[in-house]
């Protein structure tokens, strides 16, 4: 049990989830039936209450809340388990609803997304073309910065105003 716990915690420290399939392949030199039993013990034990499980369509993933936030783990999980268009759209919807604020396209160049300009342009085109993501809209700041927002949770004017303030206005008003 200790080896699995250490592996999950060490992976979480560096921003990675541990998949059940990875554990079952024997990377820790523990037999598959024993892995299943140990994971069940870990998830039910108060001593390892920081270990969380995310169950996907094809695999389960584990992380430690001592080293990784639930929100960050959720984004990584979605990147592993779903398509990138859905993951980005869900992220934009959440930002638009909770805060409410538009999301700079630049965010998706950073961890955990790590997309380059060309990839983001292609992803943006696929989002625009899909009925599933028709609420995801673009606004531009006067400096050319691109932001995305969900028109379910924000108006275009509000998104544009916030985008302009973040990119230009705050620097012109000390």
pLDDT of residue 57: 77
- pLDDT, one tens digit per residue, over 94-125 is 999 999 999 999 999 998 898 999 999 999 99
Would you kindly state where each structural domain of the chain is located, as residue ranges?
1-77, 82-171
pLDDT of residue 2: 85
> What's 1-77's CATH class?
mainly alpha
**CB within 8 A of 155, min separation 6: which ones?**
none
**pLDDT reading at 174 higher than 80:** no
**pLDDT reading at 170 higher than 90:** no
The answer to whether the CB of 52 falls within 8 A of the CB of 65 is yes
**pLDDT reading at 29 higher than 90:** no
- pLDDT, one tens digit per residue, over 37-48 is 889 999 999 999
CA distance 30 to 161: 56
């Amino acid at each position: 049990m200790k080896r699995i716990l250490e592996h999950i915690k060490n992976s979480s420290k560096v921003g990675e989830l541990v998949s059940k399939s990875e554990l079952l392949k024997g990377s820790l030199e523990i037999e598959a039936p024993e892995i299943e039993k140990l994971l069940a013990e870990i998830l039910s034990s108060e001593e390892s209450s920081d270990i969380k499980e995310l169950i996907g369509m094809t695999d389960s993933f584990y992380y430690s809340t001592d080293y990784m936030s639930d929100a960050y783990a959720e984004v990584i999980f979605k990147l592993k388990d779903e398509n990138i268009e859905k993951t980005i759209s869900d992220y934009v919807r959440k930002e638009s609803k909770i805060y409410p604020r538009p999301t700079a396209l630049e965010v998706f160049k950073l961890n955990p997304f790590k997309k380059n300009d060309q990839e983001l342009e292609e992803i943006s085109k696929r989002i625009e073309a899909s009925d599933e993501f028709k609420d995801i809209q673009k606004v531009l700041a006067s400096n050319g910065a691109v932001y995305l927002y969900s028109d379910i949770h924000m108006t275009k004017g509000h998104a544009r105003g916030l985008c302009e303030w973040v990119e230009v206005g705050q620097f012109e008003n000390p």
